[in-house]
Amino acid sequence: MREERKWLIEHQVQRTSKALESNGFKTVYAPTKSDALKEALKLIPQEAKVGIGGSVTAREIGLVEELRKRGSNVLETWRKLSPEEDLSIRRGHLTCDVFVSSSNAVTEDGKLVNADGTGNRVAAMIFGPPRVVVIAGVNKIVRDVHEAMARIRSVATPMNVRRVGGTTPCVTDVCNLEECKPPSRHCHAITILEKRPIKTDITVILVGEELGF
């Protein structure tokens, strides 16, 4: 990575971290995804029951594999499950010890912005698990909520729909909210965490690499 690019990333992360912390979130900077894995494992006790949201980022840094390797109880749905098993795990996310997710966007003024289909991910980020770990690459950092929503509509959601094999207007052309209807629609619940929820300990690990969608 060029020195100028590294400087810009660190400057952007520093600005974003300061804003997040002023809004009650804890922050950690991890220059690389291997650093991010180490930082995440520090925050997750081995005996903890760990919920993993539908995060590409958590899987790209190898967190799920590492948690299973060390014997942690991991609740995640990226396996072949019956509808009943899938729903049970999603509900378990709300009562786990630590919930791990990414964020569709992190704003430079210190907000976490997310869109969800089922809602278990955004629900668990807000209340239930006593500790939440959010891991986000620098590609998730945007200036404000307006840019965050644009990122969700034009970047994050199309790639997630493509990943699961869905069909929505944003996959075939561009986002069209009038034409995008259930059950194929993915953006059902939009949340903006302007401040850290009072009863939830949230640490945001900002990673100096592009990760996830």
Question: pLDDT tens, 128-141?
Answer: 999 999 999 999 99
Full domain range(s) for residue 120: 3-207
Residue 131 φ then ψ, to 5°:
-130, 135
Residue 15, domain member (yes or no): yes
Q: Give me the CATH number covering residue 58.
A: 3.40.50.10420
Question: pLDDT tens, 56-85?
Answer: 999 999 999 999 999 999 999 988 899 999
pLDDT computed for residue 183 by the predictor: 84
Residue 212, domain member (yes or no): no
Residue 213, domain member (yes or no): no
Mean pLDDT rounded to a whole number for the chain: 95
Is the separation of the CB atoms in 206 and 129 below 8 Å?
no
Beta strands in the chain (DSSP E): 26-30, 49-52, 73-75, 98-101, 105-107, 112-116, 131-137, 141-142, 189-193, 201-207
> What's the pLDDT band for 184 if we cut at 50, 70, 90?
confident
Residue 198 φ then ψ, to 5°:
-55, -40
Range name among 20-24, 88-92, 99-103, 164-168 with the lowest pLDDT average: 164-168
Tell me the C-alpha distance between 36 and 29, whole Å. Answer: 8
Residue 41 CB burial class (10 angstroms; 0-12, 13-18, ≥19): middle
Is the separation of the CB atoms in 60 and 212 below 8 Å?
yes
**Could you tell me the pTM of the whole model?**
0.94
Which residues have C-beta within 8 Å of that of residue 37, sequence separation ≥ 6? 61, 62, 63, 66
Residue 59, domain member (yes or no): yes
Residue 38, domain member (yes or no): yes
Using alpha carbons, select from 33, 9, 24 the residue that is nearest to residue 110: 24
Strands 26-30 and 201-207: parallel
Please state the domain count of the chain.
1
Tell me the C-alpha distance between 50 and 53, whole Å. Answer: 10
> What's the pLDDT band for 176 if we cut at 50, 70, 90?
confident
